[in-house]
């Protein structure tokens, strides 16, 4: 939620001269996205978002992310569409950073999603999976089980500093999920968003108007995307599970695609794995972020509390699967 890279007048003019999107009328840094710099850009031809990719983004991944969005846009799934410059490329360079101009998406991110919005989100997620069914590029989930082990290595004492005894619990989550996880390769797979938090979903009233920020998209179990959303949408502050929100989200998803028996069976472990993924990346950010950083790290304990819930769940029915 910051602007890391400033864009000079000359650099912006030179950059836009390579597009057919008109002359700028407004250009404002916006507090959207955590890892990159984003600008609201208005021209006499329309509204856009300009993203500059900062250090954490691997340049080798960027063409994949752009291809995902172009595929979705071509299938009329609502998401920001990368704008092609005159040279035929969407991925270009500005102020020494890889940069992309994307179309502006109407809608507001819900701060406290309602069950109706959770249902819409579930439907939207399933539509996204369907639209990506024939997308043929693949990308490994860098934040899958192998990634969790890397993130966790040497962090046990940091976890115990947050809460006495937490390290042993996290180790039990890792043991339960990492070793069970090969099963996920048997689940229906495809291209997933992998980070569809309320920040990354837009609504007009209760209508889902689209998803943004595909910078964790990858190839993985489709039900893992549902597990991420259950963690992100169906817990209240204090990490209490909101059954009606979770059930609405799953019902929305199943209105488009019914879960297979194996996916239902796997759901508790997938939810536990998804919570572990966000706990671990937040733990790393929490311990590695300098105190004077521009962006405040999020407290990993929110996800330690979700893990506490997931450890007790015995069946998908407890999340609201009918």
Q: Provide, rounded to whole angstroms, the least separation between the CB of residue 291 and a second copy.
A: 4
Q: Provide, rounded to whole angstroms, the least separation between the CB of residue 25 and a second copy.
A: 5
Query: 222 and 129 in contact (C-beta within 8 Å)?
Result: yes
Contacts of 148 (CB under 8 A, 6+ apart): 174, 177, 178, 273, 276, 277, 280
- List 9, 55, 86, 87, residue binding a second copy (CB under 8 A): 9
Interface mask (CB under 8 A) for a second copy, residues 75-114, using x and -?
A: -----------------------------x-xxx-xxx--
Give the CB-side neighbour count of residue 278, counting CA atoms within 13 A.
27
Task: Candidates 153-161, 162-170, 259-267, 286-294: pick the segment binding a second copy (CB under 8 A).
Answer: 286-294
Cα 66 to Cα 68: distance, rounded to the nearest angstrom: 5
296 lies in the binding site for a second copy (CB under 8 A): yes
Q: Provide, rounded to whole angstroms, the least separation between the CB of residue 165 and a second copy.
A: 28
Cα 310 to Cα 320: distance, rounded to the nearest angstrom: 13
Contacts of 132 (CB under 8 A, 6+ apart): 68, 71, 72, 75, 190, 191
Task: Candidates 61-69, 248-256, 293-301, 302-310: pick the segment binding a second copy (CB under 8 A).
Answer: 293-301
Q: Provide, rounded to whole angstroms, the least separation between the CB of residue 280 and a second copy.
A: 23
Cα 15 to Cα 91: distance, rounded to the nearest angstrom: 12
State which H helix or E strand residue 267 sits in.
helix 261-288
Cα 268 to Cα 274: distance, rounded to the nearest angstrom: 10
Cα 146 to Cα 166: distance, rounded to the nearest angstrom: 21
> Dihedral of the CA atoms 120, 63, 74, 214 (nearest 10)?
10
Contacts of 7 (CB under 8 A, 6+ apart): 15, 27, 39, 50, 52, 94, 95
State which of positions 13-42 bind a second copy (CB under 8 A): 23-32, 40, 42
State which of positions 207-266 bind a second copy (CB under 8 A): none
Name which of 84 and 287 has its Cβ closer to a second copy. 287
Task: Candidates 9-17, 56-64, 273-281, 308-316: pick the segment binding a second copy (CB under 8 A).
Answer: 9-17
Q: Provide, rounded to whole angstroms, the least separation between the CB of residue 287 and a second copy.
A: 14
State which of positions 42-71 bind a second copy (CB under 8 A): 42
Task: Candidates 160-168, 249-257, 268-276, 288-296: pick the segment binding a second copy (CB under 8 A).
Answer: 288-296
Q: Provide, rounded to whole angstroms, the least separation between the CB of residue 295 and a second copy.
A: 9
Q: Provide, rounded to whole angstroms, the least separation between the CB of residue 140 and a second copy.
A: 32
Residues in contact with a second copy by the rule CB under 8 A: 1-3, 6-10, 12, 23-32, 40, 42, 104, 106-108, 110-112, 204-205, 291-294, 296
């Amino acid at each position: 939620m910051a602007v890391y890279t400033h864009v000079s007048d000359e650099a912006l003019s030179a950059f836009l001269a390579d597009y057919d999107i008109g002359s700028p009328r407004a250009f404002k840094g916006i507090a959207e996205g955590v890892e990159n710099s984003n600008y609201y850009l208005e021209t006499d031809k329309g509204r856009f978002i300009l993203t500059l990719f900062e250090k954490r983004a691997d340049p080798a991944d960027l063409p994949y992310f752009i291809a995902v969005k172009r595929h979705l846009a071509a299938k009329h799934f609502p998401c920001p569409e990368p704008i092609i410059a005159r040279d035929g490329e969407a991925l270009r360079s500005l102020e020494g950073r890889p940069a992309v101009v994307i179309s502006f998406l109407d809608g507001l991110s819900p701060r406290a999603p309602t069950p109706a919005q959770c249902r819409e989100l579930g439907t939207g997620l399933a539509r996204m999976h369907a639209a990506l069914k024939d997308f043929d590029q693949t990308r490994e989930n860098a934040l899958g089980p192998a990634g969790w082990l890397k993130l966790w290595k040497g962090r046990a004492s940091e976890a115990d500093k947050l809460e006495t005894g937490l390290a042993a619990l996290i180790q039990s989550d890792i043991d339960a999920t990492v070793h069970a996880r090969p099963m996920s390769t048997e689940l229906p797979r495809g291209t997933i968003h992998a980070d569809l938090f309320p920040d990354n979903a837009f609504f007009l009233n209760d209508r889902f108007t689209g998803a943004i920020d595909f910078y964790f998209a990858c190839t993985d179990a489709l039900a893992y995307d549902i597990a991420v959303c259950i963690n992100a949408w169906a817990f209240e502050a204090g990490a209490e599970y909101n059954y009606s929100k979770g059930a609405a989200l799953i019902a929305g998803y199943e209105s488009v695609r019914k879960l297979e028996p194996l996916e239902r069976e796997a759901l508790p472990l997938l939810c536990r794995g998804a919570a572990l993924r966000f706990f671990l990346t937040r733990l790393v950010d929490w311990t590695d972020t300098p105190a004077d950083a521009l962006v405040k790290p999020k407290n990993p304990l929110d996800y330690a509390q979700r893990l506490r819930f997931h450890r007790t769940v015995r069946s998908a029915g407890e999340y609201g699967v009918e």
